[in-house]
Amino acid sequence: MATDKQNAKNLPLAGLRVIDLGQVYQGPYATFLMAKAGAEVIKVESPEGESARSRAEINEGAMLPFEMLNANKKGITLNLKTSRGRELFMQLVSDADVVLENFAPGVMDRLGIGWEVLRQVNPRLIYATATGYGISGRDRDGLAMDLTIQAVSGIMSVTGMPDGPPMKAGPAIADFLGGTHLYAGVMTALVERARTGHGRLVEVAMQETVFPTLASILGMFHGKDPSMSLRTGNRHSGLAIAPYNVYRSLDGYVAIICVKENHWRALANLMERPDLIDDPKFATNASRVCNMDETDALIEAWTSQQSMADLFEKTKSHKVPSAPVRTISEVLNDPHMHERGMLEWVDHPRLGRVVLPNSPLRFDETDKLETRFAPTLSEHTEEILNRLCGVSNAELMELKERGVV
């Protein structure tokens, strides 16, 4: 594994310093992307550790997400409820480029280290905050988790089978959409600062980042009877494309979609049913949508007699959009993503041999940044406070005794 020294060249965020107060998924994912792009990310936790770390101490299975999202960061502890802890924090902020947090609205202000205070300390500072509902508006103080945002945003109401109950999406999509937008907001503000020299407050509301994902469903809502169930199972969320579904095979399931008519013609020939190409019930996408059940039945009669691997190879060779429905184990061993360096096997001191991801952001002519494990609690406190705040080893011992670090 890499040492603390960044050993890659041409990293686009090299020289950028980020003070990371992020917790769980949303904030840490935004700063993970920054760290993997070369920024010095200093993760600041309470002496007890942020909630995701605390969860990992109870349930070892929760440690992998923490490791995924905090790789290549440096970790320190500061008790921001103490005056000395806040003083040290503001020293760090005085020469930082970005402060990022995803606490509930008002937490940083109540600690006396919110945006209005920190902008006086560092006028060039980009202050990024991510919340569930935003820092303004009637719902700003609502408690927000990925599940509750999926519920309130409408995602759950349109996920699942048409005759079934609302269902959440399996992945934590609201958390990671929030984190991705937060990263984008920080980068946008940094571009502006390069022109003006001034910092800015950037905020992201999880509820708002999720809304654009409803695009197809909104089209269905406005174009059809609003009383209809908008849950379409594995079919197109606007019921506007056919075929578009997941079909049974001999050993699992395969997803097939025909966006263009040449996709359908290729599929019909693969199925050895060229007669379907000119059949009025199936000749156009519009007619297939009107006969969706029959279209799906024809395809599944074909897919159910073959393996996923054979189906994927056949559809790929004929340029029909298709993919096997893979298990998590299969994804972790995906040779394509390992070849590209998105996934890598590592020997972790506590987790053993596991797969960790790199950033999906690729920058041309940049050396690969080796993965450094997520910091242990307070691992870099001495280094950071000594280098950036001038704290001596003797004072550090005193701060530990007083519960400041």
Instruction: List, for residues 190-246, the tens digit of each pLDDT value.
Output: 999 999 999 999 999 999 999 999 998 888 888 766 666 788 899 998 888 999 999
**What is the model's pLDDT at position 404?**
95
Half-sphere exposure of 88 (CA within 13 A, CB side): 27
**What is the model's pLDDT at position 61?**
73
Q: Are 343 and 337 in contact (CB under 8 A)?
A: yes
Q: Which helix (H) or strand (E) holds 235?
A: none
**What is the model's pLDDT at position 185?**
98
**What is the model's pLDDT at position 139?**
95
**What is the model's pLDDT at position 228?**
66
Confidence of residue 138 (pLDDT cuts 50, 70, 90): very high
For 75-87, give one letter per residue: b (16+ CB within 10 A) or e: bbbbbbeeebbbe
**Span 261-271, mean pLDDT?**
97
Instruction: List, for residues 244-253, the tens digit of each pLDDT value.
Output: 999 999 999 9
CATH classification of 253-324 is 2.60.40.10, yes or no?
Answer: no
For all residues of the chain together, what is the average pLDDT?
93
> What share of the chain has pLDDT > 90, as a percent?
85
**What is the model's pLDDT at position 227?**
62
Q: Are 26 and 179 in contact (CB under 8 A)?
A: yes
**What is the model's pLDDT at position 184?**
98
**Span 383-402, mean pLDDT?**
95
Q: Say if residue 362 is exposed, middle or buried (CB neighbours under 10 Å; 0-12, 13-18, 19+).
A: exposed
CATH classification of 17-212+333-401 is 3.40.50.10540, yes or no?
Answer: yes
Confidence of residue 2 (pLDDT cuts 50, 70, 90): very low
Give the span between the Cα atoms of 56 and 49, in whole angstroms: 10
Annotated catalytic residues are: 175
What are φ and ψ of residue 20, in 5° steps?
A: -105, 110
**Span 83-88, mean pLDDT?**
97
Any idea where the domains of the chain sit in the sequence? 17-212+333-401, 253-324
Q: Is the peptide bond between 349 and the residue preceding it cis, with omega within 30 degrees of 0?
A: no
Low-confidence winner among 56-65, 132-141, 190-199, 358-367 (lowest mean pLDDT): 56-65
**What is the model's pLDDT at position 200?**
97
Assign 282 to helix, strand or coil.
Answer: coil
What are φ and ψ of residue 256, in 5° steps?
A: -135, 135
CA torsion, ordered 52, 57, 63, 65, to nearest 10 deg: -10
Long-range contacts, stretch 259-265, CB < 8 angstroms, 24+ apart: 259/321, 261/285, 262/319, 263/319, 263/320, 263/321, 264/288
Query: Does the pLDDT at position 56 exceed 80?
Result: no
Note whether 17-212+333-401 and 253-324 share their fold: no
Instruction: Record the tokens describing residue 337, joined without a space.
Output: 């993503």
Query: Any idea which residue has 């905020």 for tokens?
Result: 203
Question: Nearest CA to 43 among 14, 63, 15, 23?
Answer: 23
